Structures are given as C-alpha cells and as structure tokens.
Amino acid sequence: MNRVSPQFPNTVSGVIFQPGAFTAVDDGQIWLTPDSTAYQAVYDAVNGWDPSGEALYYFNPATATSQWI
C-alpha cells in the first residue's frame, strides 16, 4: 500500500501491474489460486501492517543479479 503515491501509479492495481515492479506479476504467479496465507497478507496490508518499514523498493539477495538499490 505504500507505493500508492505521486511517485507511482494512482491505484493499487496500477502499482501491482506496473511493468517490472513485481516478479509475481512478471512470471504469472499472481494468477495462482490464493491460499490462506495470501488472504492474510492482503488483509494485513489493507489494515496498515507494513513489515518493510515503509520501504518503497527491495531486492532478494538470493535471486538478485544486481545490488543497485
């Protein structure tokens, strides 16, 4: 929810589907049937829980090919 700002698209959907923003969109995982963990994550995000500490960007050191951030 923290990417809904003037720096990014104007809607949650716009943020999620912004080209290159999320691997799960790029590789099609977003279309998998959600499980209870996915529903809980959405519920938590909509209700303001932000485990990222308000980060706008992140990288996974196990899969990232660059540490430019």
Q: Where are the domains of the chain?
A: 1-69
Cα–Cα distance, 61 to 15 (Å, whole number): 23
pTM score, whole prediction: 0.64
CATH of 1-69, one of 2.40.10.340, 1.10.10.2520, 1.10.10.10, 3.40.190.10: 1.10.10.2520
pLDDT confidence band for 12 (50 / 70 / 90): confident
Supply the pLDDT for residue 28: 96
**Opening angle at CA 29, ends 10 and 34, nearest 5:** 85
pLDDT tens figures, 23-61:
899 999 999 999 999 999 999 988 989 888 887 777 778
Q: Is 21 exposed, middle or buried (0-12, 13-18, 19+ CB in 10 A)?
A: middle
Residue 26 has phi, psi (to 5 degrees) of -60, -40
